[in-house]
Structure 1
């Protein structure tokens, strides 16, 4: 006789996995990769160590799963925001606002992804580089669109994109490490405006803007 899991059993398994993942976020965010043990995660999740190994084979697999979750969350939110955006300027604005909103809503996960990961796990540092590269590529495409529409002056779109993404990265790191700015999404609006002006867009309220 083949045993089939019931919906209730599936829900229990999923709830336990989510508890483990949440505990791992908090432990890794606080102590980093090397400073966290499976025992720490199990204690925080309220499960036995053996239970964790039923879901993921080791601490590294759990850490990598968290980072992948964070990356996918950021990219999915950006893709959703860009669906209804028209023109390079609007795409730039909604993309960065979406990314900052995800990080603000998931601060522990952001700390794991951007602060603890690169310092404690070289393979994950490469994943971070890939995420920044993909964001830079999006910005470069938007800048080129702005140039083609003659909304922006001629410029090196790749260099401009690197600078654009770089300013966001530095602000996010300051927020995570020093708590400055206190409200990331509010500061993000100012940062978006700053970068749009840097590219050559004239915003409402700028001197000489009709």
Structure 2
């Protein structure tokens, strides 16, 4: 309901920057309001509290992120191409927004159990994209058919996630997107039918 109000996006975008620069725990609502150019009270018209801002930020940004990945991967023919596109798009989107990368890789990790549950709910749609590519890869005989699907999904997501976290920790000193082909080939050869 509130998402269509003009200041919603302003507050979300401000929260990404404030949380990235100060850390979640040191990011007072007043700092977010100041960055967004709104009164403190305005924030409470949109969000219940700081945690609600963090969850909404993740739902909003991750929703756009997943839509882009769905769009980019469905335009490809083979599972191998789709997988490469998935990795490239994942890296490209986070490389393009350093503040968002810091928030997703660092600030969302130190959250409480309830928050993690809400975050995992958002990720389900992304994991479904990975599952679909793995299933196609099995049908195309790119991947072996006796794979533990759940473990494979965790490994693919985990590999991309760890690559991005490492890049963030190294203060983005190298080109993240340059690693996409290596990550892709590690996944493809790791899941391949033995010759």
Residue in 2 that maps onto 1:98: 89
Secondary structure in 2 matching 1:182: coil
Contact 1:175–1:181, Cα closer than 8 Å, also in 2: yes
Deviations 1:142-170 (A, max 9, x none): 23322322233444152333322221111
Taking structure 1 as the reference length, the TM-score comes to: 0.76
Greater CA drift, 95-104 or 47-56 = 47-56
* Count of matched residue positions in the alignment of Structure 1 and Structure 2: 189
Contact 1:25–1:109, Cα closer than 8 Å, also in 2: yes
CA distance in 2, matches of 1:59, 1:132: 21
Structure 1, gaps ≥5 residues long: 1-10, 202-210
CA pair 91-22 structure 1, distance change in 2 beyond 3 A: same
Contact 1:25–1:108, Cα closer than 8 Å, also in 2: yes
CA distance in 1, matches of 2:13, 2:129: 31
Deviations 1:51-77 (A, max 9, x none): 222333322222221111122022101
Deviations 1:104-142 (A, max 9, x none): 122212322231112034333224434555444433432
- CA deviation after TM superposition for structure 1 residue 197, in Å: 2.4
CA distance in 1, matches of 2:153, 2:13: 34
Taking structure 2 as the reference length, the TM-score comes to: 0.81
CA distance in 2, matches of 1:94, 1:36: 35
CA distance in 2, matches of 1:180, 1:194: 22
Of the candidates 25, 36, 50, which is equivalent to residue 27 of structure 2? Answer: 36
CA pair 196-130 structure 1, distance change in 2 beyond 3 A: farther
Residue in 2 that maps onto 1:26: 17
Residue in 2 that maps onto 1:205: none
Superposition RMSD on alpha carbons, in Å? Answer: 2.6
Which structure has more relative contact order (CA 8 Å, sep 6+)? It is: 2
Secondary structure in 1 matching 2:168: helix
CA distance in 1, matches of 2:66, 2:51: 23
CA distance in 1, matches of 2:54, 2:90: 21
CA distance in 2, matches of 1:165, 1:99: 10
Structure 2, gaps ≥5 residues long: none
CA distance in 2, matches of 1:127, 1:102: 22
Mark the structure with the bigger radius of gyration: 1
